Amino acid sequence: MSRIERCFKALRSDGRKALVPYISAGDPTAQQTLELMHGLVEAGADLIELGVPFSDPMADGPVVQKAAERALAGGMTLAGVLALVSEFRASNSSVPVVLMGYLNPIECMGYQAFAAAAATAGVDGVLIVDLPPEEARDWLDALSARDLDPIFLLSPTTSPARIERICADARGYVYYVSLKGVTGAAHLDTDAVARQVATIRALTDLPVGVGFGISDPQSAKAVASVADAVVVGSAIVSRIEAHAGEPKRMMTEVCGLVSAMRSEMDMIE
């Protein structure tokens, strides 16, 4: 059983939902990313999505795009991201870490080489935004050989037939993009999310995480009431950007938001 599976199993037994913060590796610095990872866990994160900076992040809105640009300007690389995970694992062996990014850097490293390095570092799953499962057989084989979970996206326009097809290859959980748009978009419709999550659950036993458009404790609670996991990205990354020059305040602001979300989510009856 993978760390991700154990995480969701434990949460289900406690009647709780997963809180999954996203941060971009290397923003504002590698050391601060590591400190943020530990701080997020202390604030109530159950799983961490760690962004791999890329120069053309097509699924991301301006907030996360700028974070990637800052990280790349600071010298962050795919190898550097894996080194961060390895450092995190030196003192945390339980919280799952999922890398989220784009195909190009991984393809340059090579699927087998990446999977081996990721497993050694302590990565648990990988979400590649621009690699559809229809073109992912070699990728899936490489991950499977190293017991890494492939995470896939589902969207409001994904048909039931394709949901079933995608979920057949996914492991760990599936990530439902709640909006037609990029990260950081607004206008979250929780009733529509609830309907689509019900459709997904009828087609897979995998946990369903929901992201995009979750910006405050109230929206986190609303989504947690219908999904298995709440993924929060731009709301966190925007606080990192706003307070990048004040490390202590940045940590307070980011962890305060995550802690407030955790508290609201735990109030679901």
Judge whether 42 counts as a catalytic residue.
no
Question: Mean pLDDT across the stretch 13-37?
Answer: 97
Residue with tokens 């890494």: 148
What tens digit of pLDDT does each residue of 173-215 get? 999 998 765 454 456 778 899 999 999 999 999 999 999 889 9
Domains of the chain, start order: 3-265 (3.20.20.70)
Q: Is the pLDDT of residue 74 over 70?
A: yes
**Count of other CB atoms within 10 angstroms of residue 121:** 19
Q: Is the pLDDT of residue 9 over 70?
A: yes
Judge whether 69 counts as a catalytic residue.
no
- How many whole angstroms from its chain centre is CA 7? 14
Question: Mean pLDDT across the stretch 162-182?
Answer: 89
So what's the pLDDT on residue 186? 57
Q: Which helix (H) or strand (E) holds 2?
A: none
Could you tell me the pTM of the whole model?
Answer: 0.95
What tens digit of pLDDT does each residue of 92-118 get? 999 999 999 999 999 999 999 999 999
- C-beta separation of 200 from 209 below 8 A: no
Annotated active-site residue in 27, 46, 60, 264: 60
Annotated active-site residue in 14, 42, 46, 49: 49
Measured between alpha carbons, how far is residue 4 from residues 54, 151, 152, 237 in Å? 25, 11, 14, 23
- Would you call the peptide bond into 53 cis, given omega within 30 degrees of 0 as the criterion? no
Q: What is the 3-state secondary structure (H, E, C) of 211-236?
A: ECCCCCHHHHHHHHCCCCEEEECHHH
